[in-house]
Amino acid sequence: MVETAQTDRSRPAHPLSGRTAKLAAAALAVLVVVAGASWLTVLNRADPAVAVWRGPPAAGPQAGATRSAEPAADTVTLSATGDIILGNAPSSLPPNGGRGFFTAVKGALAADFVMGNLEEPLTDDTGYGKCRVAPAPTSGPAPEPDTSNCHQFRAPPGYAAHLREAGFDLLNQANNHGYDYGAAGYRNTQRALEQHGLLHTGAPDQITVATVKGIRIAVLGFSSYPWSNPLLDVARAKSVVTRAAARADLVVVQVHMGAEGAGATRVRPGTEMFLGEDRGDPVRFSRAVVDAGADLVVGHGPHVLRGMEFYRGRLVAYSLGNFCGGGGTLNSSGNLGISGVLKVSLRRDGGWAGGSLVSTTHQGGGGLPRMDPGHRGAALVRSLSTADFGATAARLTGTGQITPPG
């Protein structure tokens, strides 16, 4: 393994877990690759098909490239979205090549650090698709995809430019569609993001760290699939979070978990299943990673909004729903079309400094995200939070302002 040449300053003891910075710094070392003046990616993975980081683009904008010159701050603002599908090539893509895709919500996304869950590969490589009837032959045309009970998505690599223009800094790949076009599609997605100055996270043992306003933010992605950090192995998940906490001031966990569908809004203790798959125990997982050092848990996967709670002073958003489904790729009827942008301010020590859920929708308009002046997302999350979590529920106002209980 290769250690970074930088001095590894240990993180102060997490005020909730009781661990010390000295113990955290003694956790398993990880491979560090410096990628520009203000951000770096940390990897510890031997499988190049999953987690190769090839460094920043040779030219062009880089995420946060000027931020290292900013004075150190006591707080930082973060925003996050649920599932992002820009379209499905070749037939279900938005008009105008996707230009202006996020224009209506760009203001809502604005924050010091902007994150999203990218629910599809960005690739033109269709040599492997998970919905094919049989493996592609060595010669001749590949069989037609079987879409009767299978969903696979992809958008052109150039669509990463729309994410960059919208203000995103980091995209999570830890979800059930990250490998829709296999290892090649996964790597192509990473390259497309890097070429547009965007960070990515979610590969096994991948810890992505961005320094914003002098505050180091580690972001990790988890799901129940082998191309991701492990949702189902809670002990191993805690180990990855502990290592991240030793190298950053703040730790954000992105996690694709829970059952899917319009009827999946409720969060209850225990394992959740979908189509025979174990989709984890959202409550157990989320509280365990907070115990290990996470300061914010951002959930997605159910395709609907879910409630929020504060566990030991840290916000857990159990699902942010579908943010967009370009080209009409996602069902937007009823609560499937209601979502929001989570915006939070955290202190350097992880303490809560304020937040809100800005209500959005992707109903109508070809699945592009739009503001929801009716604040339906905030109203739904307020109701679900109280129903599911009681004393630990996040408190939301009618317009989405979030405060801890008590």
Q: Which domain holds residue 355?
A: 21-403
- Domain membership of residue 247 (yes or no) is yes
- Domain membership of residue 85 (yes or no) is yes
Enter the pTM of the model: 0.83
Residues 200, 117: contact at Cβ < 8 Å? no
Residue 343: other Cβ atoms inside 10 A? 21
**pLDDT tens profile 130-145:** 887 545 555 555 555 4
- Domain membership of residue 92 (yes or no) is yes
**pLDDT tens profile 372-382:** 999 999 999 99
- Domain membership of residue 1 (yes or no) is no
- Domain membership of residue 16 (yes or no) is no
- Domain membership of residue 11 (yes or no) is no
The per-residue pLDDT for 141 is 56
- Domain membership of residue 390 (yes or no) is yes
Q: Which residue has the higher pLDDT, 5 or 124?
A: 124
Q: Residue 214 — very low, low, confident or very high, per pLDDT cuts 50/70/90?
A: very high
**pLDDT tens profile 61-115:** 333 333 445 678 999 999 999 999 999 999 999 999 999 999 999 999 999 999 9
Task: List the CATH number of the domain containing 326.
Answer: 3.60.21.10
User: In total, how many domains does the chain have?
Assistant: 1
**What's the rounded mean pLDDT across residues 55-65?**
33
- Domain membership of residue 225 (yes or no) is yes
